[in-house]
Amino acid sequence: MILQNLNDINLDNFPVAIFGSGPAGITTALELEKKNIKCLLIEAGGENYSQTSQEFYKGKIVGDLVTDLSSNRLRQFGGSSGHWGGWSKPLEKYNFKLWPLKYNELNSYSKRTCEILNINNQFRKSSVNEFFNQVEFQYSRVRFAEKYKNHIESSNNIWLLLNTQLSHFVGHNKSVEHAECISNKSKKKITARYFILACGGIENSRILLWTRDKNQELIDKDLPIGKYWMNHPWILGGVGIINKKKLKKKLENNFLEYEGPLHFAAKKELVNNKKILSAALYMNSREDTKIYKEIIKDILCVAPKYGKKIARMVFNKDLKCGNIFMNLEDHPNENNKIVLDKKEKDKFGIPIVKLFYKKSNQVLKTAKLFLEEFGNLCIKDDLGRIAIRDNIYNLEGFKNLGVHHHMGGTRMGINKFDSAVNRDLKVHDINNLYIGGSSSFVTSGYTNPTFTIVQLAIRLAEKINERLHA
């Protein structure tokens, strides 16, 4: 059932209320439905994009980020899946070193995650050497609103309420009693046995911080809400040429022959040996003459003999030629944080966010050492050559690193001194408030977060079901 505002429904009739209709919120609702649990799915935006609605996502940035806070997320049905890139892959096993969850605990939900994302449950990897794997991503074309709209419209257990802004939670004795919401300038209370906040890697922190300001009895003043915020630094690292024939021979039958970019990721041995974060590069295929000439020119400067060799092979079908982009793990730092702005509020009276963010030297070190080591591999095994951009060695060049994914702020952990939620995504010391989405990530890894978001949402639905039937 899809409803347009608060006046269309009795709000006291749901065991579970989910705020946010992005991948985390919709997945949780779908999984609860399978267990015959009725839930109210609340979305602040409308069914389609609206610039007026999007303005509620504006905020201030102090530090390195150059993209405004509203450009990488969508305030509408389906959330940011309305414009996500679709590249999907689980986190690496070694990424879970600091997580209270183990890799295998989430990996058990991979099959169902792939069904939701309409991708194959196959993420092959081939060892290149002791430091690198060639890895495979799956590409999802799912837009959650498009795929699941008809299903939700016909569902008896999922009720979608649009155009309804969550202001804050109200409660005492460590339980949420109701959520204060605003729709069409009217205020109403939403009650439920369990509340799930799944509004994204910025908004989750914002709502909890505002709740604490208005109701300090409910949320511990020392709970590190907003802290350990992360993103995915993304950078053009250079250009390169890879001889696919030699790569295939080196990897024998494990060479990943699929359309799209070549992906190479750091093994834990490289991470541990160089004391860097996890990272990956991908080489876009550029088969036009212009890019070949540009790359050959760069390679001639650093490797004249090889450059001449490549020039003679320029139209050889065995060559993979293109730009090298890097996805970098972010360093979880408590000083990278979301706070409420004391001077400016939105039209609902909720303070806008102020994000403090600075990329760590560890991120910069990772980009440099990863590319250098990959370049050494190419030379040693004669797989090709790469030309690293000068900004890799110029810290000023990193100020404009791209940012696309918001993670952290309600970090998962064992205790409330350095985390906001436990391993089941329940807010510490609050009996019935849970967090969905990437804001609970402990580390970011190098992969896009949506796959892990969906895994966590499936698991969260299981935990809610267990409590409802305890």
Interval 405-409 mean pLDDT: 94
Is a pLDDT exceeding 60 seen at residue 367? Answer: yes
User: Residue 343 class from Cβ within 10 Å (0-12 exposed, 13-18 middle, 19+ buried)?
Assistant: exposed
Interval 221-240 mean pLDDT: 90
Give the pLDDT of residue 402: 60
Which residue's entry shows tokens 């992360």? 230
Each residue's pLDDT tens digit, 79-138 = 988 888 888 999 999 999 999 999 999 999 999 999 999 999 989 899 999 999 999 999
Record the pTM. 0.92
Give the pLDDT of residue 113: 97
Is a pLDDT exceeding 60 seen at residue 289? Answer: no
| DSSP-based three-state secondary structure for 168 | strand
CA distances from 240 to 245, 281, 314, 442 (A): 15, 11, 13, 33
Each residue's pLDDT tens digit, 167-187 = 999 998 899 999 999 987 788
Q: Which residue has the higher pLDDT, 102 or 6?
A: 102
| CA atoms of 260 and 219, how far apart (whole Å) | 47
> Residue 149: how many CA atoms within 13 Å on its side-chain side?
14
Most confident of the following: 24-28, 66-70, 137-141, 230-234: 24-28
Per DSSP, helices labelled H in 252-320 are 268-274, 289-302, 304-312
Give residue 400's pLDDT band: very low, low, confident or very high (50, 70, 90).
Answer: low
| CA atoms of 465 and 470, how far apart (whole Å) | 8
Give the pLDDT of residue 107: 94
Each residue's pLDDT tens digit, 409-464 = 999 999 999 999 999 999 999 999 999 999 999 999 999 999 999 999 999 999 99
Give the pLDDT of residue 5: 61
Is a pLDDT exceeding 70 seen at residue 309? Answer: no
Give the pLDDT of residue 296: 67
Q: Rounded mean pLDDT of the chain?
A: 88
Interval 325-338 mean pLDDT: 92
Q: Which residue has the higher pLDDT, 399 or 90?
A: 90
Give the pLDDT of residue 35: 95
Give the pLDDT of residue 149: 92
Give the pLDDT of residue 66: 65
Q: Which one, of 184, 205, 445, lies nearest residue 332 by Cα?
A: 445
Each residue's pLDDT tens digit, 187-209 = 889 999 999 999 999 999 999 99
Give the pLDDT of residue 295: 67
Is a pLDDT exceeding 70 seen at residue 231? Answer: yes
Give residue 307's pLDDT band: very low, low, confident or very high (50, 70, 90).
Answer: low
Q: Which one, of 339, 336, 371, lies nearest residue 357 by Cα?
A: 336
Q: Which residue has the higher pLDDT, 68 or 16?
A: 16
Give the pLDDT of residue 24: 97
Per DSSP bridges, beta strands 165-172 and 175-183 are antiparallel
Interval 8-32 mean pLDDT: 90
CATH 3.40.50.460 is right for the domain spanning 2-231+331-361+401-468 = no
Give the domain ranges of the chain.
2-231+331-361+401-468
Q: Which residues pair with 385 in a beta bridge?
A: 241
Out of 34-38, 246-250, 310-314, 352-356, pick the least confident. Answer: 310-314
CA distances from 279 to 234, 266, 300, 444 (A): 10, 6, 27, 10
